[in-house]
């Protein structure tokens, strides 16, 4: 990584704004984190990306430092939802995940004012998401070999 990862340039991109090269980089990064690193075989390309808004965090060298996907209400849940939240492994521990969630929440609330926000959080990250006002709404469930919790943040 050649740029300073602490200087993040946030971009909210819809599907048509993702060039073929950016989309390739994005899918490669999501596969690296969610499939390879977490040793989880699952269908990442779930058909929801085209209807979603993508929060992309880049450093000055235009390298990915953070990413999250925001799904509009009614696509997966009644509420808008935030998912595919990631920071590359080499950049964890620098506070980028918290900055990413703040940006994701701000952007989601601007796009869908007055609506609660739902996430399907990995159970091991429950405390992290509670920092942002999310509350577990049910029992843990196993998804793709990883324990998750449905969590909701009020409007």
Domains of the chain: 9-112 (3.40.630.30)
Mean pLDDT of the chain: 94
Contact partners, residue 84, CB within 8 Å, separation at least 6: 30, 34, 44, 67, 68, 69
What is the rounded distance in angstroms from the CA atom of residue 3 to the CA atom of residue 71? 29
Give percent above pLDDT 70 in the chain.
Answer: 97
pLDDT given at position 104: 98
Q: Are 149 and 140 in contact (CB under 8 A)?
A: yes
Residues 24-50 have pLDDT tens digits of 999 999 999 998 988 888 888 899 999
Taking residues 141-149, what's their average pLDDT?
93
pLDDT of residue 42: 83
State how far the Cα of 99 lies from the Cα of 77, in Å rounded to an integer.
24
Query: Averaged over 101-130, what is the pLDDT?
Result: 97
- % of the chain with per-residue pLDDT over 90: 85
> Average of pLDDT values for 71-98?
96
Tell me what pLDDT residue 40 has.
83
- Say yes or no to pLDDT of 101 above 80: yes
User: Which of 44, 98, 106, 124 has the alpha carbon at shortest distance from 70?
Assistant: 106
> Does position 65 have pLDDT exceeding 90, yes or no?
yes
Res 3 pLDDT > 70: no
């Amino acid at each position: 990584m050649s740029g300073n990862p602490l200087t993040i340039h946030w971009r909210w991109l819809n599907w048509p704004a993702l060039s073929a090269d950016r989309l390739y980089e994005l899918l490669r990064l999501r596969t690296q984190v969610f499939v390879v690193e977490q040793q989880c075989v699952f269908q990442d390309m779930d058909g929801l990306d085209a209807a979603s808004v993508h929060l992309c965090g880049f450093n000055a060298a235009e390298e990915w430092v953070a990413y999250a996907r925001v799904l509009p209400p009614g696509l997966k849940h009644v509420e808008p939802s935030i998912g595919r939240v990631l920071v590359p492994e080499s950049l964890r521990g620098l506070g980028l995940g918290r900055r990413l969630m703040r940006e994701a929440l701000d952007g989601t609330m601007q796009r869908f004012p007055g609506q609660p926000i739902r996430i399907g959080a990995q159970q091991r990250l429950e405390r992290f998401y509670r920092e942002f006002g999310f509350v577990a709404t049910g029992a843990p469930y196993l998804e793709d070999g990883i324990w998750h919790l449905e969590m909701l943040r009020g409007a």
